[in-house]
Amino acid sequence: MGRSRIEIEEIMLYGRMKVICAYSANIDAICTVSGEALSNMISKDRNFKIDLKKSIKSRNDLLSSLLYCMRQGSGAEVLIEDRQAAWQIGSDQAFSWRPRLGGNAAIMANVLAALGAEPILNSPALTPRLAELLHPKVRLPEGGELLDPVQAVQAVQSRGKDIEDMVHYVFQFQENDTVSAGKENITAPKANRFIATYDPVNSRLLTSEGFDSYCRDSIESIAGAIVSGFQLAAGSREQAIFSGSATQIKSWKQKNARLFIHAEMGSFAGASTMNSLLEILSQIPIDSLGLNEDEIALALPDAALRGWQEHDLPEEWPQFLRSAEGLRRRLGLFRVAVHTGDYILSVMKAGRISPRQELAALQSGTDAAASLAATGSAAGNLGAQAEVNSAGLQAKEMLCRLDGGRAEGRGAYLISGDLIVSLMPSLLVRNPSFTVGLGDTATSAIFLRELEAII
């Protein structure tokens, strides 16, 4: 059944849809590293070992994990062992830090606010420094009201709470950056980032009392929810943390069955952790799931889409397409999306969003991510700074060659039974200013357009 006119009017009050954004909000300290500087830090150690550490306890652990990501051209996030190690990294004169808004939920909230929605952000560690980085139209629940960031941080300070900034240290590297590391020379095959995180608040997926009570009392007037940040939970308590969050999300869904919920994955330490979380989330149930190319590789593959020959598809497609559709069917989800550096791939069950609406949503996401990469703002003016990714165009052409494949604007879609496969090539930005938050930016822009189409 569709929504009644009164329900739609409540959701679209003042033209702004309310969207829950949980769970992580923090400050990112960003450093764009150079191959020469890194080489100078480690060149004297001929036995330097490159490995992705399970936790960061020292500068060597940090450099080892960073170089692992550079060698692979991949991203990762690893927790810092303790506060002292975090302080040493933050005060290390070898790194030049730039503060930016961080946290999956906070980044998505800022994008949604810029695009005209009314994001309801969870931020249990709200400080003046963090509040300054939030969009003025982001809303934070306090005492049953929705406050702007300035009002919210004033309310927190009035209670006399001493809250420290949650800072994640982000190391950006560029394509073709070369490092001399002991006996090995490393050249990054593509731009990406490594994140070293000390965050006792977001790593427990804590929520504020104001957020909890507002969501509990006002969930009927909220159109959608994006939940993320689960990758920060680590150690022996992760299953309890996942279960606690799932219980909260399920309570929203029970009170508002039409709430459209998207869960975004992150850089998990292992496949078993992520797949355990997915099984928990499927019991809510969530509607939509997003992963990048590293994260989909952790998902269990499935022999779905039989009859689509591997030689008919680009090299990545057999794995991504089978895994995404297999995951969707196994978990009983409406939609699974994979965002890579070359394209965004979406597989969804027919009936709620048309192929053209989905492609329009995907294009909105690729445009917003490219704008952030080029200008630092999801709503920035790209001008001539971006071009359509050639590998993405090849994937589009291959999709069009399959039986039922059809080009539509910059993207393409295919309908196979009750399945809709949509693909949108990304926009390529040479020498990006930012590589952090691109996936979150694309995800939130896509989510908003999908939500508009559903309503």
DSSP string, 33-89: --HHHHHHHHTT-TT------SSB-SHHHHHHHHHHHHHHT--EEEEBS-HHHHHHH
pLDDT at 243: 95
pLDDT at 312: 41
Give the angle subtended at the CA of 174 by the CAs of 202 and 29, to the nearest 5°: 30
Under a CB-based contact definition with an 8 Å cutoff, are residues 159 and 42 in contact?
no
**pTM, two decimal places:** 0.88
Residue 11 has pLDDT above 70, yes or no: no
pLDDT at 12: 47
H or E stretch covering 370? helix 355-375
Residue 65 has pLDDT above 90, yes or no: yes
Residue 175 has pLDDT above 60, yes or no: yes
Distance from the Cα of residue 172 to its chain's centroid: 16
Q: Which of 209, 181, 175 minimizes the C-alpha distance to 193? A: 175
Instruction: Count CB atoms within 10 A of the CB of residue 418.
Output: 9
Residue 167 has pLDDT above 80, yes or no: yes
Concatenated DSSP letters for 162-197?
Answer: -----EEEEEEE-TT-EEEETTEEEE-SS-EEEEEE
**Partners of 411 in the beta sheet?**
408
pLDDT at 322: 81
Gap between the Cα atoms of 344 and 385, Å rounded: 20
Residue 400 DSSP SS3: helix
Beta-carbon contacts of residue 67 (< 8 Å; ≥ 6 apart) = 38, 42, 50, 179, 181, 186
Under a CB-based contact definition with an 8 Å cutoff, are residues 27 and 101 in contact?
yes
pLDDT band for position 302 (50/70/90)?
very low
Gap between the Cα atoms of 67 and 56, Å rounded: 14
- Report the relative pairing of strands 192-198 and 167-173 from DSSP bridges: antiparallel
For residues 48 and 26, which has the higher predicted lDDT (pLDDT)?
26
Gap between the Cα atoms of 179 and 176, Å rounded: 10
Question: Which range has highest mean pLDDT (133-147, 153-167, 168-182)?
Answer: 133-147
Under a CB-based contact definition with an 8 Å cutoff, are residues 337 and 289 in contact?
yes
pLDDT at 165: 92
Q: Which of 134-148, 158-172, 370-384, 386-400 has the lowest mean pLDDT?
A: 370-384
Residue 203 DSSP SS3: helix
Gap between the Cα atoms of 374 and 107, Å rounded: 16
pLDDT at 316: 67
Gap between the Cα atoms of 111 and 378, Å rounded: 7
Beta-carbon contacts of residue 129 (< 8 Å; ≥ 6 apart) = 27, 99, 165
Using a 10 angstrom Cβ sphere, with 0-12 exposed, 13-18 middle and 19 or more buried, the burial of residue 162 is: exposed
pLDDT at 378: 81
Residue 304 has pLDDT above 50, yes or no: no
Q: Which of 243, 116, 192 minimizes the C-alpha distance to 435? A: 192
Across residues 226-238, what is the average pLDDT? Answer: 88
pLDDT band for position 10 (50/70/90)?
very low
**Partners of 387 in the beta sheet?**
428
- Report the relative pairing of strands 288-292 and 260-264 from DSSP bridges: parallel
Residue 27 has pLDDT above 90, yes or no: yes
For residues 3 and 280, which has the higher predicted lDDT (pLDDT)?
280
Q: Burial code of 283-302, b = ≥16 C-beta within 10 A, e = fewer?
A: ebebbbbbbbbbbbebbeee
What phi and psi, each to the nearest 5 degrees, are found at residue 281?
A: -65, -30
Gap between the Cα atoms of 197 and 180, Å rounded: 25
Helix axes 271-282, 317-331, angle to 10 degrees: 40
pLDDT at 13: 42
Residue ranges of domains in the chain, CATH in brackets: 5-26+104-134+200-454 (3.40.1190.20), 29-102+166-198 (3.30.1110.20)
Express each pLDDT in 242-268 by its tens digit.
Answer: 999 999 999 999 999 999 999 999 888
What phi and psi, each to the nearest 5 degrees, are found at residue 168?
A: -110, 130
